[in-house]
Structure 1
Amino acid sequence: MTIRWKHLIILIIVLPLLGLAFAWSGMMGIRASTGHWGVTDWFLHWAMRNSVGTAALGVEAPPLDDPARLPPAAGHYETGCAICHGSPASPRPDSVLAMLPPPPDLKQVVPQWTDAELFEIVKHGVRYTGMPAWPSQARDDEVWGMVAFIRRLPEMDARTYIQLSGLRTSGMAGAVSPLPITCESCHAQNRLDGKSVIPNIAGQSEAYLLESLKAYAEGRRQSGVMQLAVSAMDPATFPELARHFASQASQQSADDAAASELVEKGRILAETGRPADKVPACLSCHEKADGNPVYPHLSGQPAPYLERQLHLFRGGTRGGTSYSHLMVEAAKYLKEGDMAALAAYFAGRKGSGP
């Protein structure tokens, strides 16, 4: 029997029409309760693994051994991920196990993926599942922090998880509070040190804190961690929250390990800038007694946090208040060593802070 071209063309036209008719009839089952056929489940996972593997080919994983990456990722995980995937402090609820496909137990599946593949999954999510993309596609540094955190999940115990995430316990056999994550879970000063990538917001100006909260809520300042955090808040509470932290006394949390040469280079840049390269003096705007209250105080902030923010400004991805464009322009001409020097100087500076 010979198959003619016209037969193939008719088949190509008819098959999609038959599929549409079958879907229109309502006879195609979509009930999650019935599960997938075995071949369907195999095909979907096979397609996902191939897709993720291919997308990860051009991704180069940075070193993930810095413990400072873990606290913000842990807090975000508890807020946005644990409800489906469970955590060392709380198992997955039965309700999510009825999803199709059910969210996996990460302790079992994380070892099956490379760091680059985990980055691809965390950043972009997975279609046809409940796995969302990272809230801010501009913050690869946060995504890598989450990769570093979930890489450690398989061996993590409940005590370590609670300590990293800032979970509150009810005091009854270590039971977790129903509203465990607060601003203090990450920003409490006793949780910060000179190596933190989380800022110390105690004693910042009320104007700066309020404008920053608004910027996160409106998507003008990119952070998957903070955008998720403020999404659960009523904007009407922002002024009260800003006043609360502005009224606190700030404690220095600097790391004194920075080389004196690096600090001196940062001091010169902060005080005089480098006019030949269009780099202005930081202190011409920041920390002036009569300066703009929306400009943040920098002294005593952790050096890794400051350096990360300068990188974001230089890359044009750091928004914020209505003055953030000035910092984007100021950071444009900074060199790699400049950012480390400025961060080291301000981290150790005991200036006219808040």
Structure 2
Amino acid sequence: MPKGQIAHRHKALFIGIGAVALLLVGAGAGVVLLLSGAYSTAATKQHFGITYRILELGLRYSVASNAEDIVVPDLGRVANVNIGYACYRRYCVQCHGAPGVARDPLGRGQLPSPSSLSESARDWPAAHLFYVTQQGVRMSGMPAWEYRISSEGLWSTVAYLKAMPFMTVAQHRELDESSADETCPAPTAAAAYTRERTQIMFRQYACDNCHIIGGMVGPKTHVGPSLKGWRERKYIAGVLPNTRENLVRWIVAPQDFSPHTMMPDLDVIEPHARQMARYLMTEE
């Protein structure tokens, strides 16, 4: 082999080794920083400027990529701004505020701080707003509303968001009064059963915050009993025979069967409860 080729291969090898070494050093430094406790997780400490810009850039590219197949309907035909504001008033104004309406203390104390949606609604396409409202944003405090608001309610919320930047305070107060009797529609059906979607349901109803659930990654919490091997149980909370139909009834309204149970009513709709029961009854 010619000396030139040998030298070129040696150079490539050294560059590769150097790159791996740099990655290992960087990873090691990150582990040391993490374990030392030097990196503050306090919500009163702002991210570094570069961290903030990278997260913002990553958010925009991620939303654009995931929302590209969303078909935006004719919002003037299928959406209702009054219903959209009813959803916004119930679920969003606490963190984001509205024209002439302050955020609740909950929304003021978060980091990153929830943005004013007047600017986002003006700058972001409707498909992007729908995706973020439906799916949420991980590790930001932005919830996913897919399992609490119907498709009609989500698109109506988008219609409201697109109208909001152009409202005066007086116009917004009129909307608040005219929509006083409106309610935000909840889903009435569930998509076809899949194991993965049902795991999302468990997380969206915060079931894994109290229970260990078979097949799921989550906190190792023992607030409530483990749900692993559920189909082997004889009774549900000691009050109902453990059948799939009884499990559905328990998930929807546990305190109807055991008034002093620590299990709260989580507003689980029956189609979701049926999929949860199916999962638990078939999971090893």
Bin of the TM-score, shorter chain as denominator length: 0.5 to 0.7
Asked if 2 retains the 8 angstrom alpha-carbon contact of 1:220 and 1:320, the reply is no
Residue 153 of structure 1 aligns to a residue whose secondary structure is helix
Residue 103 of structure 1 aligns to a residue whose secondary structure is coil
Letter paired with 2:182: C
Identity in percent: 26
Letter paired with 1:112: D
After TM superposition, give the deviation of residue 137 of structure 1 in Å.
8.0
After TM superposition, give the deviation of residue 24 of structure 1 in Å.
0.6
Partner Cα distance (1:133, 1:35) in 2: 24
Aligned pairs for 1:50-199 (under 5 A) are: 50-66=61-77, 69-88=80-99, 90-93=101-104, 96-136=107-147, 139-156=150-167, 157-166=171-180, 185-186=181-182
Structure 1: tracts of 5 or more residues without a match? 167-184, 188-196, 199-215, 229-233, 238-316, 323-354
TM-score by length of 1: 0.45
Asked if 1 retains the 8 angstrom alpha-carbon contact of 2:72 and 2:126, the reply is yes
Asked if 1 retains the 8 angstrom alpha-carbon contact of 2:79 and 2:155, the reply is no
After TM superposition, give the deviation of residue 78 of structure 1 in Å.
0.9
After TM superposition, give the deviation of residue 142 of structure 1 in Å.
2.6
After superposition, the Cα gap between the structure-2 partners of 1:4 and 1:85, relative to the gap in structure 1 and judged at 3 Å, is closer
Partner Cα distance (1:321, 1:21) in 2: 44
Residue 149 of structure 1 aligns to a residue whose secondary structure is helix
Asked if 1 retains the 8 angstrom alpha-carbon contact of 2:150 and 2:188, the reply is no
RMSD of aligned alpha carbons: 3.7
Letter paired with 1:92: R
After superposition, the Cα gap between the structure-2 partners of 1:138 and 1:77, relative to the gap in structure 1 and judged at 3 Å, is closer
Matched pairs, number: 188
Encode CA deviations 1:200-251: one digit per residue, 9 max, x unaligned: xxxxxxxxxxxxxxxx7xx8755xxxx99xxxxx9879xxxxxxxxxxxxxx
Encode CA deviations 1:249-303: one digit per residue, 9 max, x unaligned: xxxxxxxxxxxxxxxxxxxxxxxxxxxxxxxxxxxxxxxxxxxxxxxxxxxxxxx
Match of 2:57 in 1: 46
After superposition, the Cα gap between the structure-2 partners of 1:9 and 1:111, relative to the gap in structure 1 and judged at 3 Å, is same
After superposition, the Cα gap between the structure-2 partners of 1:235 and 1:153, relative to the gap in structure 1 and judged at 3 Å, is farther
Encode CA deviations 1:152-178: one digit per residue, 9 max, x unaligned: 111232323313431xxxxxxxxxxxx
Letter paired with 1:10: A
After TM superposition, give the deviation of residue 95 of structure 1 in Å.
5.2
Correspondence for 2:24 among 13, 16, 38 = 13
Letter paired with 2:17: K
Asked if 2 retains the 8 angstrom alpha-carbon contact of 1:84 and 1:92, the reply is yes
After TM superposition, give the deviation of residue 17 of structure 1 in Å.
2.6
Partner Cα distance (1:132, 1:68) in 2: 22
Residue 146 of structure 1 aligns to a residue whose secondary structure is helix
Structure 2: tracts of 5 or more residues without a match? 1-9, 191-203, 206-252, 257-268, 275-284
After TM superposition, give the deviation of residue 22 of structure 1 in Å.
1.5
After superposition, the Cα gap between the structure-2 partners of 1:93 and 1:319, relative to the gap in structure 1 and judged at 3 Å, is closer
Letter paired with 1:31: A
Letter paired with 1:158: H
Asked if 1 retains the 8 angstrom alpha-carbon contact of 2:79 and 2:152, the reply is no
Encode CA deviations 1:81-138: one digit per residue, 9 max, x unaligned: 1100112352223552332111111112210101111111111111221111114289
Match of 2:36 in 1: 25
Residue 113 of structure 2 aligns to a residue whose secondary structure is coil
Residue 16 of structure 1 aligns to a residue whose secondary structure is helix
Partner Cα distance (2:148, 2:87) in 1: 15
After superposition, the Cα gap between the structure-2 partners of 1:159 and 1:30, relative to the gap in structure 1 and judged at 3 Å, is same
After superposition, the Cα gap between the structure-2 partners of 1:107 and 1:6, relative to the gap in structure 1 and judged at 3 Å, is closer
Partner Cα distance (1:220, 1:20) in 2: 46
Letter paired with 2:179: S
TM-score by length of 2: 0.55
Partner Cα distance (1:4, 1:62) in 2: 52
